[in-house]
Amino acid sequence: MTTTTNQLLLGDCLQKMNEIADSSVDLIYLDPPFFTERKHKLKNRQRTKEFSFDDIWKQESSYAEFLHQRILKMRDLLKDTGSIFVHCDKMANHIVRGVLDDVFGSEYFQSEIIWQYKRWSNAKKGLLPSHQNIYFYSKTHDFTFNKVFMPYSEATNLDQILQRRTRDKHNKSIYARDEQGSIKQADAKQGVPLSDVWDIPYLNPKARERVGYPTQKPLLLLERIIALVTNQNDLVLDPFCGSGTTCVAASLANRNYIGIDQSEDAIELSQTRLDKPVKTQSTLMQKGRKAFEQANIQALQCLANIAYNPVHRNQGIDAILVEHHHGAPVLVKVQKEAETLQQAKQLLRNAMNVKASKMGFLIRTQLAQDEHSAEAKQDTQDQDTASIIYVIETVELSIRRRYA
Amino acid sequence: MTTTTNQLLLGDCLQKMNEIADSSVDLIYLDPPFFTERKHKLKNRQRTKEFSFDDIWKQESSYAEFLHQRILKMRDLLKDTGSIFVHCDKMANHIVRGVLDDVFGSEYFQSEIIWQYKRWSNAKKGLLPSHQNIYFYSKTHDFTFNKVFMPYSEATNLDQILQRRTRDKHNKSIYARDEQGSIKQADAKQGVPLSDVWDIPYLNPKARERVGYPTQKPLLLLERIIALVTNQNDLVLDPFCGSGTTCVAASLANRNYIGIDQSEDAIELSQTRLDKPVKTQSTLMQKGRKAFEQANIQALQCLANIAYNPVHRNQGIDAILVEHHHGAPVLVKVQKEAETLQQAKQLLRNAMNVKASKMGFLIRTQLAQDEHSAEAKQDTQDQDTASIIYVIETVELSIRRRYA
DNA sequence: GAACCCGATGAATCCTCGC
DNA sequence: TGCGAGGATTCATCGGGTT
């Protein structure tokens, strides 16, 4: 049997998976639906002194049964080098784990991935839920895995890490030295293996990427999973594809895909997204939180000795000073490379209107086309609102100016 | 029955807990021993097509039974306002969760806490394990909880947070505006509620706090848990107290404690620690990770487009290139403001000797007193070691030079 | 085969040395 | 004697090799 790839199938995956050849899939990702009705049944149950596992499972059995049947079939579809990633509802992760241990075997459990994100807070008593669990099992020990390396920790003595080590006669670890007694260097290192805790921004409620599916996942999450355990032209299957994120990510990464869903709407939506994929264009999404911190280094350096709160994700403002001025916040904006001074000023002015700010600082970083225009040099006083924008230059710009 | 507090009990907690009065404990923390023998039993088990839940559990049942008996008793010991925190082994978290759901009821599940950390890596194919799970259940809905707030994330729209919000007639959340229609500023906010993902440094192998217990937890972790769900003079119980971290943390926070352990050594050790508690106080602990990042911003900026590993805490080196040269690392140093070129060169040269590096780059950022000296302009070749230092200038410096 | 040993690992602390 | 820079050391966890 040959499998037609790059298609979306409408129906229960239990049936539809029969259209896929055994041992043909490289990665299965699923976020199975979770039926919350069961939960309430538990409420009034009697606690018994004599413990039986059946008690736990009876409550969950219909769900576990549902999942078990399907995951059994999924295992057959996987190549020997294939992997499965199962996204868990927080009320059911023990059930999912139990089923996976049964079908794949606990020795093929690779990782519990924690997808961590910051989120808008709620008023709930307790801790703010800010993670989800993804279980990663491989079919065999010979699974495809593309190693990813991350930077060393800031607290690491990196120069020492690069020294070769050995053990002395007491089996104590020491640095290796050559005949002259100088330290031997280790081979080139690439960094630290990727951790099982992933800090990936939660899909912002207003993101363009969002298509209205409650459990929609960020593309970045799926892209990372796909990059980790598949290669180009491999086949990715999502048996509960929903809004189609997995398929879109696979398609963007030049992998083949098959998506299955019971809902006609889901299939239609997925197809639309596949025809014209939209990925949220935010610095945070693309480069991660670290890059976000560095993106504005220049701006922050200018402010090095002033007490300020950095502001991200706002075109008009890069920082708000801690000190207020006449009871209103003082805003700071750094001119971006692509902005003319005019544009930058207007953005800051808008922001100041919204924030009712009376004082703003605009930090120039770019030479103007017409260096002699009045606008380029003067601070701006807005007649209506009595607010003022001071224009400041970076040191570097003032040097370049003398050459202009 | 009255309970004697601030004591350590030797024995199986199943028996010893009988010495504690029912409904007298405010917090139970436990890190139950985990018997890894199970793992191997699972290995050769046949997967059966007809699915039975008993199959999953039979393997685990002796362990689950062990845990269930004890946790049942623990629930009785808890006050109605009390909570339990259970630390899980990564191979057993589904078992623990199942038992807790059974004893406490899933509606009293409050959080799965992810304790996240950085740690030395290993050769594992796959993701680097860097978290542990802690389950948090309350006995009733009326549990003690002290809200904790953390600083806002870098990606938060801080400017929006500072705007006062209200609801319109359709009960939709909107920004509050004054008579003139401009936005009202909110009062100072406390921050974001504490997340269920905790970044707490792992107990370092060299830490003096370490006492030799393999599963010893950092005091910081227990301190946070205790602060979260207990008040002064409350009673904290650890039925598997091991090295006694829980009791020490409770004692330091002016809570009462009871620790139980089967091992005489553990009890003795715990008592020693209680008499003279040691807590790690380091730069990382005190100033946090951020302190490292900001120390060196300027140097890192100069290296923007080169593949390098940043080096902290070493005067002679700011970075090591990823690529090696003639089998030796290539070192990079950025001249600091207070350093003359001579001094900078010497520091780099020393570092190169120690690291046996053949090639180094020194990035000039300062104009020399005597701009015309030969030393200022020339690269340095060391006759003895055949190593060479290339001197490079920043763009900014070369502009300033033309004015010098 | 199974049990054991051994080397590699990197985070982060302790510790020493020099001024 | 105090302090800071940076060198030294440890540990749990893998894989792989060897009894």
Does A301 lie in the same domain as A255?
Answer: no
Distance CA(A196)–CA(B126), nearest Å, equals 9
Does A377 lie in the same domain as A243?
Answer: no
Residue B334 lies in a domain: yes
Identify, with chain letter, the residue nearest to nucleotide D8 (CA–C1'): A174
- The pLDDT value recorded for residue B37 is 38
Does A381 lie in the same domain as A360?
Answer: yes
Mutation target for B interface from A14, A44, A86, A127: give the one with most B CBs within 10 A.
Answer: A127
The DSSP letter of residue A306 is S
Helices A245-252 + A219-229 axis angle, to 10: 60
Conformation bin of residue A73: beta by default, left when phi > 0, alpha when psi is -120 to 50: alpha
Does A53 lie in the same domain as A170?
Answer: no
Does A250 lie in the same domain as A311?
Answer: no
- The pLDDT value recorded for residue A286 is 42
Q: In the structure, how far is the CA atom of residue B207 from the C1' atom of nucleotide D13, in angstroms?
A: 19
Does A205 lie in the same domain as A107?
Answer: yes
Closest CA to B57 of A336, A197, A282, A60: A60
Closest CA to A72 of B54, B50, B91, B93: B50
List the single range of A38-52, A117-131, B251-265, B346-360 with lowest mean pLDDT: A38-52
For the record, the structure tokens of A287 come out as: 């480069």
Final residue of a structural domain among B252, B268, B286? B286
Does A173 contact B at CB distance below 8 Å?
no
Residue A2 lies in a domain: no
- The pLDDT value recorded for residue A321 is 60
Residue with tokens 């800090």: A199
- For residue B353, list chain A residues with Cβ-Cβ distance below 8 A: 182
Does A259 lie in the same domain as A170?
Answer: no
Q: Are the beta carbons of B312 and A116 separated by less than 8 Å?
A: no
Shortest Cα distance, chain B CAs vs residue A47, angstroms: 7
Residue B53 lies in a domain: yes
Q: pLDDT averaged over chain A?
A: 76
Give the model confidence (pLDDT) of A371-390 as tens digits.
555 555 556 665 555 677 77
Final residue of a structural domain among A264, A286, A308? A286
- The pLDDT value recorded for residue A285 is 39
Distance CA(B188)–CA(A107), nearest Å, equals 51
- Dihedral (Cα; A122, A123, A126, A127), 10-degree rounding: 20
Distance CA(A394)–CA(A366), nearest Å, equals 9
Shortest Cα distance, chain A CAs vs residue B135, angstroms: 12
CB < 7 A contacts with chain D (nucleic strand): A 157, 159-160, 165, 172-175, 183; B 120, 122-125, 129, 204-206, 210, 212, 214, 313-316, 347, 354
Does B79 lie in the same domain as B26?
Answer: yes
Residue A1 lies in a domain: no
Does B310 lie in the same domain as B173?
Answer: no
- The pLDDT value recorded for residue A283 is 34
Helices A264-275 + A245-252 axis angle, to 10: 20
Residue A178 lies in a domain: yes
Does B339 lie in the same domain as B249?
Answer: no
Which nucleotide across the nucleic acid strands is nearest to A141, CA versus C1'?
A: D15
Q: In the structure, how far is the CA atom of residue B339 from the C1' atom of nucleotide C19, in angstroms?
A: 18
Alpha carbon distances (Å) from B21 to A325, B2, B3, B103, B142:
60, 6, 6, 19, 20
Final residue of a structural domain among A253, A286, A319? A286
Question: Residue B46 belongs to a domain with what CATH number?
Answer: 3.40.50.150
The DSSP letter of residue B369 is S
Contact map slice: A 303-322 vs B, CB within 8 A: 309-314, 317, 320
pLDDT band at A292 (very low <50, low <70, confident <90, very high): very low
Distance CA(B77)–CA(B22), nearest Å, equals 4
- The pLDDT value recorded for residue A20 is 96
| Between A162 and A241, the higher pLDDT residue | A241
Q: Are the beta carbons of B42 and A99 separated by less than 8 Å?
A: no
H-helix or E-strand containing A29? strand A25-30
Q: Looking only at Cα atoms, what is the longest distance across chain B?
A: 89
Shortest Cα distance, chain A CAs vs residue B275, angstroms: 31
Which of B61, B353, B356 lies nearest to residue A185, judging by beta carbons?
Answer: B356
Report the number of distinct structural domains present in chain B: 3
Does A260 lie in the same domain as A245?
Answer: yes
Conformation bin of residue A356: beta by default, left when phi > 0, alpha when psi is -120 to 50: left
- Write the DSSP string, B174-202: EE-B-TTSPBPBPPPP--EEPBSEEE---
Domain boundaries, position A49 = 7-148+194-286
Distance CA(A80)–CA(A143), nearest Å, equals 7
Closest CA to B354 of A153, A173, A191, A180: A180
H-helix or E-strand containing A198? strand A197-199
The half-sphere exposure of A325 on its side-chain side, counting CA atoms within 13 A, is: 18
Does A274 lie in the same domain as A133?
Answer: yes
Closest CA to B42 of B96, B95, B97, B86: B95
What proportion of chain A, given as a percentage, has pLDDT over 70? 66
Residue B1 lies in a domain: no
Residue B77 lies in a domain: yes
- Write the DSSP string, A69-84: HHHHHHHHHEEEEEEE
Mutation target for B interface from A159, A347, A402: give the one with most B CBs within 10 A.
Answer: A159
Which of B42, B57, B283 lies nearest to residue A53, judging by beta carbons?
Answer: B57
Distance CA(A70)–CA(A84), nearest Å, equals 13
Residue B2 lies in a domain: no
Q: What nucleotides of chain C have any atom within 7 angstroms of a protein Cβ?
A: 6-15
pLDDT (tens, 9 = 90+) of chain B, 404 residues, equals 777 889 999 999 999 999 999 999 999 999 998 765 333 333 223 333 344 444 444 456 778 888 999 999 999 999 999 999 999 988 888 889 989 999 999 999 999 999 999 998 888 899 999 999 999 999 999 999 998 877 655 444 444 555 555 666 666 666 666 666 555 555 445 567 899 999 998 988 888 888 888 889 999 999 999 999 999 999 999 999 999 999 999 999 999 999 999 888 889 999 999 988 777 666 666 656 655 544 444 444 444 445 567 777 787 788 787 667 777 778 888 887 778 888 888 888 888 887 778 888 887 777 776 665 555 556 666 655 567 777 766 555 655 555 54
Give the model confidence (pLDDT) of A209-240 as tens digits.
666 666 788 888 999 999 999 999 999 999 99
- The pLDDT value recorded for residue B353 is 80
Distance CA(A95)–CA(A98), nearest Å, equals 5
